[in-house]
Structure 1
Amino acid sequence: MLSSQSAQVVRTTLPAVEASLGSITELFYRHMFEERPELLRGLFNRANQANGAQREALAGAVAAFATALVEHPDERPDAVLGRIANKHASLGITADQYTLVARHLLGAVAEVLGDAVTPAVAAAWDEVYWLMANALIAMEARLYAQAQVEDGAVWRTMEITERHEESLDTVSIVLRRTDGAPTEPFVPGQYVSVQAGFPDGAYQIRQYSLSTAPGRKTWRITVKRERSIDGRVPEGEVSSWLHAHARPGDTLKVSLPFGDLLLPEGGSPLLLASAGIGVTPMLAMLEHLATVSPDRPVTVVHADRSPVHHAHRLELSELVGRLPNASLHVWYEDTDHPDAVGDHVNKGWADITRLAPAPGTTAFLCGPLSFMKAVRTDLLAHGLSPRDIHYEVFGPDLWLSK
């Protein structure tokens, strides 16, 4: 898909661009927010800008896309972009915003690399950017069409009907449409974006998995309060706000559901592996399976600090119990709690080396990046194909940048 003349230029300059991507993305965001400060206050995650996670994720995506273009010149690496397109759709990103990004991103490349950016180099990387941007624009247009909305028109006002404390640091929030109509359909494993407003006039957006199966008149999200760690990691801005302020009768701005962590059809074996709040999409999948495919073989793995930190602990066990060919394996770092009992409970870090997956198993992972990478490594060692291992991350996708 990349022209032959540009492919040679990109192949030659890719090492220099990759080495400078940290500086390029830092400069890109700084200049864009100087021109459009409302984007930082109302679209981009301020915490991820402050800690550099968003810059790292962008650098990883650009490097992976460019590398795929030169290594597989006859293919457009759309697989790299699917997760980004779904995230963008949940934020209501529109095609016109890509022109703003192009101006500042390519400008940052020229500023950082200086005289090395000849007209030929600038033209080649402009081609890379627009191949990536146009692929995303097309994907996002399809997502909006599937949702039967105009591009970017994903936001709804929803009312909180219930709130439940699910563990020491998590609450679940049940939402319904304010007009009483059924909630829009979704696929188990998808998420919604939620807006929160702050006294400084800014609002921030975060994504939360839908933690029950489709087919109800309500949606449920489960929110873990991200607490500060020794002052080095700031409190979660939106999660803290929802814990403090979200009450039944209140309304929230919520997006339509998006996400590409989707169960395959059929009766092939599944492995669902989660840690911490990563259990939420697995709950929706399990409830859905109990309704439509209860005999499907399912291995469920979950890791947590302790039973009191394990959100939806009893619900997870009940859902697995509704599936006759399912097994549950839980690991707790602390097993001194009286609820840390049962043949399915293990002590320490999750270790799936003894859980040999059946041939043809499809695996879904959700949790901290270190957990997912360790599980994926073990699954590959057991012979699972990389194409059959899928994952979801909350926040910037740093998998490609690590």
Structure 2
Amino acid sequence: MTAVVSNLEKINTMKMLDDRTIEIVKSTVPVLQVHGEAITRRFYERLFEAHPELLNMFNHAHQQQGQQQMALANAVYAAAQHIDNLSAILPSVRQIGHKHRGLGVKKEHYPVVGENLLLAIQDVLGSAATPDILAAWEKAYGVIASTFMQMEQQFDEQASAQPGGWSGFRSFQVKRKVKESDVITSFYLEPVDQGAIAYFIPGQYITVRVQPKDQPFVHLRQYSLSDAPGLPYYRISVKKESAIQEKPAGVVSSYLHEQIGVGDVIEVSAPAGVFTLDRSHDLPIVLISGGVGLTPMILMLNTLI
């Protein structure tokens, strides 16, 4: 991870924005605070209208609930605040970079995102989005996108280089399916090619990619690994989500619970994630979770003892 951070610092040094561009971008911070979510909503509308195939890469429930729009609005707002020192948001960049790699985001996606983000800014702000503002944001987006692409490439190279590692998605077979409670079921997954699997740090997750027969698009979900690293299988423990407070039912969790059985094959990305157990100090460790969030906590606890 140190190598990744130092390389990103080099990127920021090599691709510094001019003072005028930084000044303009930072001047838009109050505007983004007010209109950021409207801009990201419009961005996703434009993106999916122009590139419906990208619906295969997004969490549709988060889209419907507005979580994706809010997350992107917060990320854009933070980038604008720290455009003169992007190293300040490296923790968030690393977290998003892990997500992007797990979802299969590629370099060629970034220009598409940039184009539609600028158009969304123009749509929402109208005449307030002056040519100078759009030009400044185009430059800023180029630096931000470069930072993400460099980081995600390094994550991908690190994952592929380790024993049992791989890039993209790999076919895994369900070897065991264990009902843990009324709502939680564990799935034991082994690679179809019978090769080695990558080591992981307690707290990391894998991305599961499935396409239920009644769904027009592929669905991807991240699930924490729930058994010890170093075993010949991965285990995920999945809570079956239901429709609560007008939110859509869990498409993927329901599909796994109801339609995936022993012997079935699903696609899985290599382990990723930054919410991991830090054992670099001797301080007491407190583990706090709610609901199915205890999944990574149990693994951390088992590792500690």
Scaled to the shorter chain, the TM-score interval is: 0.7 to 0.9
Q: CA deviation at 1:3?
A: 2.6
Match of 2:290 among 275, 281, 289: 275
Q: For the structure 1 residues 51 and 171, does the alpha-carbon distance in structure 2 shift closer, same or farther, using more than 3 Å as the test?
A: same
Asked if the contact 1:225/1:243 (under 8 Å) is kept, the reply is: yes
Matches within 5 A, 1:20-59: 20-40=35-55, 42-59=56-73
Correspondence 1:154 to 2:154: no
Q: For the structure 1 residues 75 and 214, does the alpha-carbon distance in structure 2 shift closer, same or farther, using more than 3 Å as the test?
A: closer
- Separation (CA, whole Å) in 2 of partners of 1:135 and 1:284: 32
Aligned to 1:77: 89
- Separation (CA, whole Å) in 1 of partners of 2:289 and 2:17: 38
Q: CA deviation at 1:69?
A: 2.5
CA RMSD of aligned residues (A): 1.7
Aligned to 1:66: 80
Aligned to 1:144: 156
CA radius of gyration, larger in: 1
Which structure has more strand as a fraction of its residues? 1
Q: Which amino acid aligns with 1:127?
A: K
Correspondence 1:176 to 2:186: no
Correspondence 1:128 to 2:140: yes
Aligned to 1:110: 122
- Separation (CA, whole Å) in 1 of partners of 2:86 and 2:143: 13
Which structure has more helix as a fraction of its residues? 2
Q: CA deviation at 1:13?
A: 2.3
- Separation (CA, whole Å) in 2 of partners of 1:289 and 1:95: 38
Asked if the contact 2:189/2:233 (under 8 Å) is kept, the reply is: yes
Asked if the contact 2:206/2:225 (under 8 Å) is kept, the reply is: yes
- Separation (CA, whole Å) in 2 of partners of 1:62 and 1:117: 16
Unmatched tracts of structure 2, length 5 or more:
1-15
Asked if the contact 2:160/2:167 (under 8 Å) is kept, the reply is: no
Q: CA deviation at 1:112?
A: 1.4
- Separation (CA, whole Å) in 1 of partners of 2:287 and 2:194: 34
- Separation (CA, whole Å) in 2 of partners of 1:13 and 1:155: 39
Q: CA deviation at 1:74?
A: 7.9
**Which deviations, in whole Å up to 9, do the C-alpha atoms of 1:371-394 show, x marking residues without a partner?**
xxxxxxxxxxxxxxxxxxxxxxxx
Q: CA deviation at 1:75?
A: 4.5
- Separation (CA, whole Å) in 2 of partners of 1:189 and 1:109: 37
Question: TM-score, normalized by length of structure 1?
Answer: 0.67
Q: Tell me how many residue pairs correspond in the alignment.
A: 284
- Separation (CA, whole Å) in 2 of partners of 1:287 and 1:54: 33
- Separation (CA, whole Å) in 2 of partners of 1:239 and 1:74: 36
Correspondence 1:119 to 2:126: no
Q: For the structure 1 residues 36 and 74, does the alpha-carbon distance in structure 2 shift closer, same or farther, using more than 3 Å as the test?
A: closer
Q: Which amino acid aligns with 2:228?
A: A
Correspondence 1:248 to 2:262: yes
Matched residue SS, 2:174: strand
Greater RCO, CA 8 A, separation 6+: 2
Runs of 4+ off more than 6 Å: none
Matches within 5 A, 1:173-212: 173-199=187-213, 200-212=215-227
- Separation (CA, whole Å) in 1 of partners of 2:87 and 2:237: 39
Q: Which amino acid aligns with 1:214?
A: P
Match of 1:261 among 275, 286, 291: 275
Unmatched tracts of structure 1, length 5 or more:
291-402
Asked if the contact 2:102/2:206 (under 8 Å) is kept, the reply is: yes
Match of 2:99 among 87, 101, 104: 87
Q: Which moved more, 1:56-65 or 1:76-85?
A: 76-85
Matches within 5 A, 1:329-348: none
- Separation (CA, whole Å) in 2 of partners of 1:55 and 1:127: 22
Q: Which amino acid aligns with 1:190?
A: Q
Asked if the contact 1:28/1:108 (under 8 Å) is kept, the reply is: yes
Matches within 5 A, 1:303-322: none
Q: Which amino acid aligns with 1:181?
A: G
Matches within 5 A, 1:364-383: none
Aligned to 1:100: 112
- Separation (CA, whole Å) in 2 of partners of 1:50 and 1:74: 30
